[in-house]
């Protein structure tokens, strides 16, 4: 279809839209967790139990919150994009495993799995030219 033939020229703009949209949503999810304090971090960090890690739940919870909140900001502006995407993908893997562990099945874990797939895909594609990381 002629309307869509030239959209390939705007790949970097498409990446910008994805980064900004995902970054904002990760900030929306992560900032309250960052501000939630020790109780929130402990509960969140307890999720690492699905990987057999039962020590330092406050640390792991805080790291997950920072990954979502600050990682969302880094994704939005395209700073340290690939390392950020690795951390975000790992966080979504843990989230999906928690859902499976609670018996939520694929429907409960689907959002985390979808985000993980997008983060891994962006890891290979890169941030695009409209980013701090641009080459």
* Mean pLDDT over the full length of the chain: 95
Task: Evaluate whether residue 90 is within a structural domain.
Answer: yes
Task: Evaluate whether residue 1 is within a structural domain.
Answer: no
| pLDDT tens sequence across 43-99 | 999 999 999 999 999 999 999 999 999 999 999 999 999 999 999 999 999 999 999
Euclidean distance between CA atoms 88 and 116, whole angstroms: 7
* Domains identified in the chain, total number: 1
Predicted pLDDT of residue 106: 95
Task: Evaluate whether residue 36 is within a structural domain.
Answer: yes
Task: Evaluate whether residue 6 is within a structural domain.
Answer: no
| pLDDT tens sequence across 8-33 | 889 999 999 999 999 999 999 999 99
The angle, 0 to 180 degrees and rounded to 10, between the axes of the packed helices 11-35 and 37-45 is 120
Task: Evaluate whether residue 70 is within a structural domain.
Answer: yes
Task: Evaluate whether residue 7 is within a structural domain.
Answer: no
Task: Evaluate whether residue 131 is within a structural domain.
Answer: no
Q: Is 130 within 8 Å of 11 (Cβ atoms)?
A: no
Give the three-state DSSP class for 102.
coil
Domain coverage including residue 38: 25-125
Predicted pLDDT of residue 135: 63
Task: Evaluate whether residue 111 is within a structural domain.
Answer: yes
Euclidean distance between CA atoms 45 and 42, whole angstroms: 5
């Amino acid at each position: 279809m002629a309307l869509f033939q030239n959209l390939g020229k705007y790949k970097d703009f498409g990446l910008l839209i994805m980064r900004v949209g995902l970054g904002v949503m990760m900030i929306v999810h992560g900032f309250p967790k960052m501000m939630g304090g020790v109780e929130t971090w402990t509960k969140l960090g307890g999720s690492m139990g699905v990987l057999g890690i039962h020590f330092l739940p406050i640390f792991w919870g805080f790291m997950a919150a920072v990954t979502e909140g600050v990682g969302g900001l880094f994704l939005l502006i395209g700073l340290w994009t690939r390392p950020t995407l690795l951390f975000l993908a790992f966080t979504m893997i843990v989230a999906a495993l928690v859902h499976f562990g609670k018996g939520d099945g694929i429907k409960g874990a689907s959002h985390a799995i979808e985000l993980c797939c997008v983060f891994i895909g962006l890891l290979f594609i890169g941030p695009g030219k409209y980013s701090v990381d641009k080459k």
